[in-house]
């Protein structure tokens, strides 16, 4: 699984992955916002629709943005409905405590729900930063209980973000639903990466758990630099690029 936020990238990644995540990371990766807390339902709907236009085939999971699961089942169902109408196959919900009723309501209403435990970026202001979660035995037991609860509520899969590898492996072995890891080691059933990290599009940002498969920022900068130099040096457009 990989994230995508627009039609063009969705078309490209759809050739290779089993599922696309329209993550609320779009707020940071595309909109330049400070955290995913700034993502809105409107933003998620817009990007989900674009991704579906680019990739008509695959499973598309759209993030339920900050706050959308905290105002009760009715508000959450409205948001989820908008995401599904925009082309999502499923929605992803961060955490479980305090909004079990919402998750159950969505599942019973026919909306597939993917869970998300460990580092839940929408809670960054409470957690105090982007760091590994559930390091202690007590926190690990709490996470395992949350994973069990999500499965009971009908979640069809579970993202585990930035948790110790041993814990992710344990959850994967204990649960019947597939786990998808990010910064959770190799023991999960699948992996997800943020596309801009995978492509190295932000040269300043290199999470330790991500692998860059492209030096995207350097390549884009070099290409645009060559174009600008060609225009300034009157080397572009040339005869073959001149229409008549």
Give me the active site residues, please. 161
Segment contacting ligand KIV by CB under 6 A, of 23-31, 82-90, 134-142, 220-228: 23-31
Closest distance of CB 233 from ligand KIV, Å: 41
Total chain residues near ligand KIV (CB under 6 A): 11
Tokens of 212: 């860059």
- Please report whether residue 25 would count as binding ligand KIV according to CB under 6 A: yes
Segment contacting ligand KIV by CB under 6 A, of 19-27, 65-73, 171-179, 218-226: 19-27
Which residue of this chain has its Cβ atom nearest to ligand KIV in the complex?
23
- Please report whether residue 3 would count as binding ligand KIV according to CB under 6 A: yes
Closest distance of CB 93 from ligand KIV, Å: 10
Q: Can you tell me the distance from the alpha carbon of 150 to that of 76, in angstroms, rounded to the nearest whole number?
A: 17
Residue 54 near residue 44, CB atoms below 8 Å: no
- Please report whether residue 177 would count as binding ligand KIV according to CB under 6 A: no
Segment contacting ligand KIV by CB under 6 A, of 21-29, 137-145, 197-205, 213-221: 21-29
| Complex with ligand KIV: residue 30 or 224, whichever CB lies closer | 30
- Please report whether residue 201 would count as binding ligand KIV according to CB under 6 A: no
- Please report whether residue 23 would count as binding ligand KIV according to CB under 6 A: yes
Contact string (CB under 6 A) for ligand KIV, positions 137-166, x = contact:
----------------------x-x-----
Q: Which residues contact 240 (CB under 8 A, 6 or more apart)?
A: none
Greatest Cα pair distance in the chain: 73
SS3 content of the chain, % helix, strand, coil (to 5): 45, 15, 40
Q: Which of 80, 93, 182, 184 binds ligand KIV (CB under 6 A)?
A: 182
Please report the DSSP string for 71-134 in residue order.
SHHHHHHHHHHHHHHHT-SEEEEE--TT-HHHHHHHHHTT--EEEEEES-GGGHHHHTSS----
Residue 198's alpha-carbon distances to 46, 72, 161, 216, 240, in angstroms, are 23, 35, 16, 9, 35
Q: Which of 43, 153, 192, 201 binds ligand KIV (CB under 6 A)?
A: 192
Q: Which of 63, 146, 151, 197 binds ligand KIV (CB under 6 A)?
A: 63
Strand order in the sheet with 2-3: 2-3, 19-22, 59-63, 90-94, 113-118, 157-161, 179-182, 190-191
Angle value at C-alpha 67, between 209 and 199, nearest 5 degrees: 30
Q: Where do contacts with ligand KIV occur on this chain (CB under 6 A)?
A: 3, 21, 23-25, 63, 159, 161, 182, 192, 194
């Amino acid at each position: 699984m990989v994230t995508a936020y627009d039609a063009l990238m969705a078309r490209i990644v759809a050739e290779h992955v089993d599922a696309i995540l329209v993550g609320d990371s779009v707020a940071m990766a595309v909109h330049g916002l400070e955290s995913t807390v700034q993502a809105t339902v409107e933003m998620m709907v817009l990007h989900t629709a674009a991704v579906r236009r680019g990739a008509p085939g695959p499973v598309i999971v759209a993030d339920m943005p900050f706050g959308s699961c905290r105002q009760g089942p009715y508000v959450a169902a409205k948001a989820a409905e908008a995401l599904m109408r925009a082309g999502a196959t499923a929605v992803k919900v961060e955490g479980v405590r305090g909004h079990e009723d919402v998750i159950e309501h969505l599942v019973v209403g026919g909306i597939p729900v993917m869970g998300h435990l460990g580092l839940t970026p929408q809670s960054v202001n409470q957690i105090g930063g982007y760091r590994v979660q559930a390091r202690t035995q007590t926190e690990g037991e709490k996470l395992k209980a949350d994973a069990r609860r999500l499965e009971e509520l009908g979640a069809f899969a579970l993202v585990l973000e930035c948790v110790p590898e041993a814990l992710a492996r344990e959850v994967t072995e204990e649960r019947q639903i597939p786990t998808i890891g990010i910064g959770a080691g190799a023991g999960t059933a699948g992996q997800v990466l943020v596309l801009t990290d995978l492509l190295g599009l932000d040269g300043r940002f290199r999470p330790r758990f991500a692998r860059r498969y492209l030096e995207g920022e350097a390549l884009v900068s070099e290409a645009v630099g060559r174009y600008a130099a060609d225009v300034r040096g009157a080397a572009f457009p040339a005869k073959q690029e001149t229409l008549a």
